[in-house]
Amino acid sequence: MTQDSTNLNLLGISIPLKAGADSDRMREAVELVQKSFDDQTHRARSGQNKETLLILTALGLADKLLQLKKQQQESDIRISALLNYIDSSN
């Protein structure tokens, strides 16, 4: 590894970052995953193993991503409609 690389710790695992990776954004991503995992752990039934908790965490994050993508698409449609309205008014 180059001198510019760093390691992030997520769920007790050291993850090397490539040189040139946006380390601030990756740190935020690690914090988000760790927080989501911790939240899932607190909501989970006792006895669920780490793999199950990780899958539930991944599904929760994926669901949030899909919701945001849908909101973005709806916003894009509204913006496009407004731009068309403005163009037709001129």
CA-CA distance, 46 to 60, in Å (whole number)? 19
47 in any annotated domain: yes
1 in any annotated domain: no
Structural domain span for residue 80: 6-89
70 in any annotated domain: yes
Its pTM stands at 0.75
Count the alpha carbons within 13 Å of 21 in the hemisphere toward its beta carbon: 18
Crossing angle of helices 23-43 and 50-89, in 10° steps, is 120
Total number of domains in the chain: 1
Give residue 16's pLDDT.
86
* 16-66 pLDDT per residue, tens: 877 677 888 888 988 999 999 999 999 887 788 989 999 999 999 999 999
